[in-house]
Amino acid sequence: MRFPRRLILLPAVVLLAAAVDLPDEAPLPVAPPRTDAAASPAEPDGSADPRPSGRSDGSGAPADPDRAKDDEAPAPPEKKPDPIADAPPPEPLPEAEIAACEAELTRLGAVFMRLDPVEGEGGCGVPQPYDLPEPAPGVTLEPDTQLTCPAALATARWVRDVVQPSARALGDEVTLSGITHASTYVCRGRNGQPGAKISEHAKGNAVDIARFTFEGHEPLAIVPRQGKGDIEEAFQRAVQAGACLHFTTVLGPGSDAFHDDHLHLDMAGRRGGYRLCQ
C-alpha cells in the first residue's frame, strides 16, 4: 500500500523536535541601547562633543549667548596718558645761576625770599621757589608767590621797565603802588582743563596778573577793554604788549575766553627762542 508523502514526513518532523531541547519561549530580540535624542554624536576619536547642548543647570534648554557674554570678566580699561603724572619732575637750576639771579634782583631793589622746595606729583613742583613781596621799591605783589628765580626776575624787570612808566601816563601825580595776582604755582594742566598739557604754573614758572593799584588813580582790573579808546585801555594794552620783552608767553583779553580777566605771563622755553604774544 502506498501512503501519501505528507504522512511519511510528518512523523519524522515530530521525532526531530523531540530530540532537540527547545525552550518554552523564544527570547525577545535585545533592543540597542537607548540614546538621548538631545545628545551630540561622538567625535571621530570616540569622545563626546564638548560643545554644550543646553544650559549648565541641566534643563536642556538652549544656552543664552547674551547671558554668557555678561558672565565673562570685562577687559581692563586702557590706561590713558596723564600729562601731569607722566611729565618728568622739574630740575633744579645750578647754584651759580641762582646766585646770579639773586644778585640781579638785589640790584633792581626787589624784596625776595627763597622758600623751601615745593614737591608735587609727576611734573609738578618748584625745587627753588621764591616769594616776591616787592618786585620794585614801593610796589607790592600780593598774595604770596611761589616762583622760580627766573620768573621772579622777569616780573621785577617788567614792573620797573614797563608797568611803572605806563602808570605815569595815567596822570602826573599817578604812581603804581601794588599788583594783585590770581596764581603763581598751581599743579594743573593748561587753562585748568583735564587732560591738557602740563601748565607752566605747575612748575612755578608763571604768574597771572589780575589788578593794578595806584596812588592818585582808581584800581584797574584786567578786563576786555578793546574799542573803548580811553587811557585805561591804553595802559592795559601797553603793559600786556611790553610783558613780551621779559616773558616768553603773554596771554590776556583778546587771546581767548580763558584769559579775559587776567594777564598770563610765563617763561616757557621754545625752539629757536620763539615768544607767544597775544
With beta carbons less than 8 A apart as the criterion, state whether 161 and 133 touch.
no
Radius of gyration of the chain (CA): 47
Q: For position 243, which CATH number holds?
A: 3.30.1380
Q: Does 210 map to a domain?
A: yes
pLDDT band with cut points at 50, 70 and 90 for residue 23: very low
Q: Does 9 map to a domain?
A: no
Q: Does 143 map to a domain?
A: yes
Q: Does 82 map to a domain?
A: no
With beta carbons less than 8 A apart as the criterion, state whether 209 and 179 touch.
yes
Q: Does 259 map to a domain?
A: yes
Q: Does 238 map to a domain?
A: yes
Question: What pLDDT does 29 receive?
Answer: 46
Question: What pLDDT does 36 receive?
Answer: 46
Domain count, the chain: 1
Q: Does 80 map to a domain?
A: no
Q: Does 246 map to a domain?
A: yes
Q: Virtual CA dihedral for 123, 250, 182, 234, nearest 10 degrees?
A: 180
* pLDDT digit string, tens, across residues 54-91: 444 444 455 555 554 555 667 667 777 898 999 999 99
Q: Which of 153, 91, 101 is closest to 123 using CA atoms?
A: 91
Q: Which residue has the cell 576619536?
A: 45
| Residue 181: strand pairing partners | 209
Domain residues for 108? 95-277
CA distance 163 to 215: 14
* pLDDT digit string, tens, across residues 125-142: 999 999 999 999 999 999
**Given a cut of 80, is residue 219 above it in pLDDT?**
yes
